[in-house]
Amino acid sequence: MPTDTGKGDEEHAPGSACWIDLGVADTARAAAFYEELFGWDIAPPDSSGYRLVSREGHLVAALGPAEDPGVPYWTVYLHTNDAAASATAVQAGGSTVVAPPSQVGDAGITATVRDPAGATFALWQPLDHDGSWLSDKPGTPAGIQLQVEDLPTARQFWDIAIGWHLDEGGRIWCRTHLVGARRRAAKTQETIRTAAPWLIELRTDDLAAALHRATQFGATIVDAEHGLLCDPARAAFRLVAQAP
């Protein structure tokens, strides 16, 4: 979870993905890979092993020791103005509160939740830390995708819990704000070897060049056309080319 107290340049809309972090066994190896691929500046670990990631002086994401010894996973944090009320709402929608709301220093208040389909995510009520830098720069978050198998059930939960609308075109909205996209499990998921429901999208200015660099640093390409790859620890993510 974020522990820096610096505010971002722009505020995230309630219901949007405002922060991401990667849980991985070997944070030093992960740090080396992402530094090479994106030019990320990765801080030394704090007392818990959590390492903040920045670019051009702005916070982007974080790396931390995985609590689950299995395949590495990305956690998505959703912005809320009231973590306690949102935790109550997600429980009413049929989810499980894995970790109740707790304050992280002066940065914010967080809670960890698991939806009825097993997708784990976090709530983030900002105090002094709003979340990831909103930018079109390479190496910054471009979006998220949520794997959805049972669309009617997912629609009911996310509408009650967060106020999301999953439209027929595969997009996820929170009121008038575009949050991300939904996707179905594909055969490539077996190659990724993870059941993680979230797919993180990160920007690049040249998809082909970034994929080539990634393989040089130990990544595995899953679907070059769509920018899907796994880092050396097998954590999946997607590169998105920034439009001119």
pLDDT of residue 1: 58
- Give the pLDDT mean for 141-164: 90
Between 92 and 4, where is the model more confident?
92
Give pLDDT tens digits for 49-95.
Answer: 999 999 999 999 999 998 776 778 899 999 999 999 999 988 888 88
Per cent of the chain over pLDDT 90 is: 69
For residue 66, the model assigns a pLDDT of 86
pLDDT at 71: 78
DSSP string of 65-100, one letter each residue = E-SSSSS-EEEEEEE-S-HHHHHHHHHHTT-EEEEE
Query: In a 10 Å sphere around its CB, with 0-12 CB exposed, 13-18 middle and 19+ buried, how is residue 35 labelled?
Result: middle
Which distant-in-sequence residues (6+ apart) come within 8 Å of 168 by Cβ?
Answer: none
Q: How many helices (H) and strands (E) does the chain have?
A: 5, 16
Most confidently modeled of 68-72, 95-99, 236-240?
A: 236-240
Q: Tally Cβ neighbours within 10 Å of residue 167.
A: 12
The residue-averaged pLDDT of 216-228 equals: 95
| pLDDT for 190 beyond 70 | no
Q: Which pLDDT band, with edges at 50, 70 and 90, does 197 fall under?
A: confident
pLDDT of residue 130: 92
List pLDDT tens digits, range 106-142.
999 999 999 888 889 999 999 999 999 989 999 999 9
**Full-prediction pTM beyond 0.85?**
yes
Higher model confidence: residue 1 or residue 97? 97
Q: Which domains can be identified in the chain, with CATH numbers?
A: 17-241 (3.10.180.10)
Confidence of residue 7 (pLDDT cuts 50, 70, 90): very low
Rounded CA separation 182/61 (Å): 22
